[in-house]
Structure 1
């Protein structure tokens, strides 16, 4: 599971609530996996059923090299190549001039009407299609199924303040027919999402339009949650022309980073795998408690916690019940905790440092990230620094941190330890600081300073105890690993985006988001900051690196004020924490995946 809110929204809009309720078929999938080779064999009956339902071969390598496509202008059915890339070409040039459907610069001229089909025209056509469905069948616009806490609410006749999340529907109802006629795909002025955004922006600024949108209110400016709802709706179209609320290509690429790290740790072949799973489930329970108690802060998981989190989400209805029940216990306000798809790198690192402190506090001195890489040492250093008065939890944490280097279950290879889970990390396009420095550079300097302090403290402790000093001045993780080789990446740390993801290979860059005002992916002026539109599914205040109590994203780097980011969907079925933390098979499952990324 990638984003539980987005998944619920798609299930509601697609009429697949049976799938939402049933969850992942753990027993069926387990029965198809060979215990020795771990190969997956579904059986002939399943293969035949799949082929009959989809019309596609079971083996995706046998699929056609072309994709059927409908022209947005004349609706003529045509076929286009998936890609025109050549494997033999240099990496920097392999996709530059490619015009296939999966290529960044997709371009195809309709043989009938000569309309030029691109990714941008397909995005605007998706928006027009949703507007037509809203007018013809009362299908709500994407992103309007829930409030800022991710919990759906019935559409009732009430005050404007109580139906803020429905603002995009009211806006489309007021301008829909005229807007459709003015955004004809054959008009060169309406062939991009940026142009469509500008048109919507002018409508929102119109007092006459806003009076029609909110006839029972004399206030023409948008309320905080209305801003969030608008940006959440637009987030369904930026870099995404698929039927889903999320760009699955980028999501799968980012998720692949998580799966790769799980494979490197190799818990599946560990003789203590069951004990490891029991321990990480308990750790996940503490992590979830941190999220529930602190809805305005961003909690960031370690890899082991993220494994439990993603697995829990694969039983979506039980995860929803557990989330709503737990948050109501701690804050009296039910929230559907989401897992953000994109989180800006430095914000992710700051959230990880805060989570480490909270974990130490709640567990009375346990270490959150049981890893000895330079980054984890740097994160722990400020919280374990020397002082006149030291709490018992800090003293216990210091001892635990010192013993990490001597524990047989902690590998000297940082790729084998469960430190920060950064598969949702993306480098945000932001303005430089007033002094002209890149914010990533400033963050890197601070971490390096903390690491040097931790190293000197450890060397001093070694001398005091008469132990043989270890050379702690060099660390392989100062460099990124790409295809098994260390490579230099400016300001690299384990919290940054995967350097192996090449942006030119995909229609939408899966490893970047923009917070610069007016940039592609940022919405109409006056409707909030970049976190929601760029893919961070935020909600009332903070959230979590992939997930947030109440949503996430908001308030960060141009974030969303009191309304925070945006979440996605949710059925407000009641309380009892049904499913516990394992979520039916969830806990202890070793499958990666999910949570978004």
Structure 2
């Protein structure tokens, strides 16, 4: 007979709140000094001051985006004449920001890891999005030599330290001379992103075939620039003339990693080193790489140098990324399973990162906009004690979310906006995040920022049921805030209305028993859908799933009304029926690379890195690792994460 499950933890404050105050008085919460997560009771892993600082950072990102879209000048984003769509200006501006971030990262080792000043806001925005892919970030910082500096106290710690410091003041004022001088000295480019945009015209790339260095324009009128969807350029050398595309650049990057044997952790393939239980599993990574190379791709005796071996791999793959992938799959269990999709998602261009950072920034933009629309990013919004309670509530719910993941390792849970804010804040402190989740949840909790919307919608329903079963309170209280009052005043009224049920009004997971029927509850418990991706290559199936979900939501609302409840607010769409919008494309496809779209065939091959293409692991289908039993979660894919925020 199986053992009975332990009772759920209690998420209530030590003492009942006072309910005799006037309705406008703040709730008398005594914020707990520890929260149960798994079998432990750690002190709060994030603090309200850090959430406030993070919100100030999001406000700066929102301001930057509005500035770029309002300018709409050819000079600002170097667009061809006639392109006036603000989204396109923003996407290309983000592309230049990623270029600046890469140049900064490449220059950091030359400073000996001593940089300690914050980079410009556009670069901070890219770094922020990178940190919100914590599994890839953690692996890259170990595997890629030039990124090691991001883990040093001088560089990697500067953003985390700023969450406890004066980041908000720095962002609200002109940059200090130290910040400007350090940036210019490190990158030899202007600190101001608009000045830099006017100067950044081209990128040096190496021909994947002859290795000659050439200059590729970022943007041109033909739409074939490096930052544009149809990037293509020919090698100018007469004896070569090779047609260079993003795929062939990715081919060379993959071949270089496969050929390397002399870079320590850097010799391993992306997506194979970091697992949910070991941030640097070199034995597993070595086993996978050996299996991938097999006999057909074994290093020939004539290739004494890594570069010569990489040339051999590129030639053997007939200069085609898909062909080399097929050869690599031959030596892997189950032809690579889901693992090969995860690996290939890291090889989409020649940048040093395993995450496609333009798309990552654009996806995070949805969350930034939601926080901005809720007014949470406004300066001073949480200055009063009564308003700060909302952030305390978010922190409590985040710890309960971690506890839920620790109780069900194989489940895929979806956060609400308030939980996601606390989760994102925790991830910005990369070292602490890794240490905390391994210690308290029992595994590294990854954060998948691109999930098919249908899967996300189903997972959100499961999360709601699991939360209710474990804590006996509702997970989401859908009802948009009314104008004219502060968030703390609304919460105070909810608590006052719950006088008849003191115990529940005292819970940090349910501020008021009457909240279920109150439309003025703040909208922070809406699901966080910034990572929802609409699979255009399965358009009919996706739209059919949307219709079924709308009917389900409407049926639930009618049932609640018959029972005397208040149905969900109809001023906005239901969870995950509005995925992350793609900013431009003449063709339809799925969100994958540079915020662009790819066709169904390529996505199905896993190159697009979306779940619809099978690029992420965790559904139990096996990962192709020689040591994997198919249950998965041990492959470093999203199966070990338990969350999708």
Q: Aligning the two structures, in what range does the TM-score lie when normalised by the shorter sequence? A: 0.5 to 0.7
Preserved CA contact (<8 Å) 2:620 2:631? yes
Q: Which residue of 1 aligns with 2:632?
A: 563
1:568 and 1:398, CA in 2 relative to 1: closer, same or farther beyond 3 A?
Answer: closer
Displacement of 1:540 in angstroms is 7.8
Q: When you count helix as a share of all residues, which structure comes out higher?
A: 2
- Distance in 1 separating the partners of 2:576 and 2:512: 22
Preserved CA contact (<8 Å) 1:300 1:352? yes
Q: Which residue of 1 aligns with 2:465?
A: 357
- Alignment map for 1:415-434 (pairs within 5 Å): 417-428=524-535
1:398 and 1:564, CA in 2 relative to 1: closer, same or farther beyond 3 A?
Answer: closer
Among 332, 342, 350, the alignment partner of 1:241 is 350
Preserved CA contact (<8 Å) 1:429 1:512? no
SS at match of 2:333: coil
SS at match of 1:57: coil
Q: Which residue of 1 aligns with 2:293?
A: 172
Preserved CA contact (<8 Å) 1:164 1:223? no
- Distance in 2 separating the partners of 1:299 and 1:146: 21
Among 348, 360, 363, the alignment partner of 1:251 is 360
- Distance in 2 separating the partners of 1:502 and 1:474: 30
Uncovered stretches (5+) of structure 2, i.e. residues with no partner: 1-130, 301-308, 481-502
Preserved CA contact (<8 Å) 1:109 1:116? yes
CA RMSD of aligned residues (A): 4.2
1:596 and 1:8, CA in 2 relative to 1: closer, same or farther beyond 3 A?
Answer: farther
Q: Which residue of 2 aligns with 1:296?
A: 410
- Distance in 1 separating the partners of 2:613 and 2:269: 15
- Alignment map for 1:432-581 (pairs within 5 Å): 438-461=540-563, 475-478=570-573, 494-503=576-585, 508=593, 510=595, 519-520=602-603, 522=605, 531=611, 535-536=615-616, 538-539=617-618, 561-564=630-633, 566-567=635-636
Moved over 6 A (4+): 135-138, 396-402, 511-514
- Distance in 2 separating the partners of 1:12 and 1:153: 8
Count of residues paired in the alignment: 455
SS at match of 2:289: helix
Displacement of 1:452 in angstroms is 2.7
- Alignment map for 1:575-590 (pairs within 5 Å): none
Among 118, 121, 139, the alignment partner of 2:245 is 118
Q: Which residue of 1 aligns with 2:306?
A: none
1:168 and 1:117, CA in 2 relative to 1: closer, same or farther beyond 3 A?
Answer: same
Q: Which residue of 2 aligns with 1:207?
A: none
- Alignment map for 1:16-415 (pairs within 5 Å): 16-17=147-148, 19-20=150-151, 22=153, 23-28=157-162, 33=167, 35=169, 39-63=172-196, 64-84=200-220, 97-112=222-237, 113-134=240-261, 139-147=267-275, 149-152=276-279, 155=282, 163=284, 166-172=287-293, 174=295, 175-177=297-299, 180=310, 183-184=313-314, 190-201=318-329, 203-204=330-331, 222=333, 227-237=337-347, 239-269=348-378, 270-271=381-382, 272-328=386-442, 335-365=443-473, 367-372=474-479, 403-404=515-516, 406=518, 408-410=520-522
TM-score by length of 1: 0.65
TM-score by length of 2: 0.61
Preserved CA contact (<8 Å) 1:426 1:512? no
- Distance in 2 separating the partners of 1:111 and 1:231: 33
1:29 and 1:286, CA in 2 relative to 1: closer, same or farther beyond 3 A?
Answer: closer
SS at match of 1:79: strand
1:316 and 1:407, CA in 2 relative to 1: closer, same or farther beyond 3 A?
Answer: same
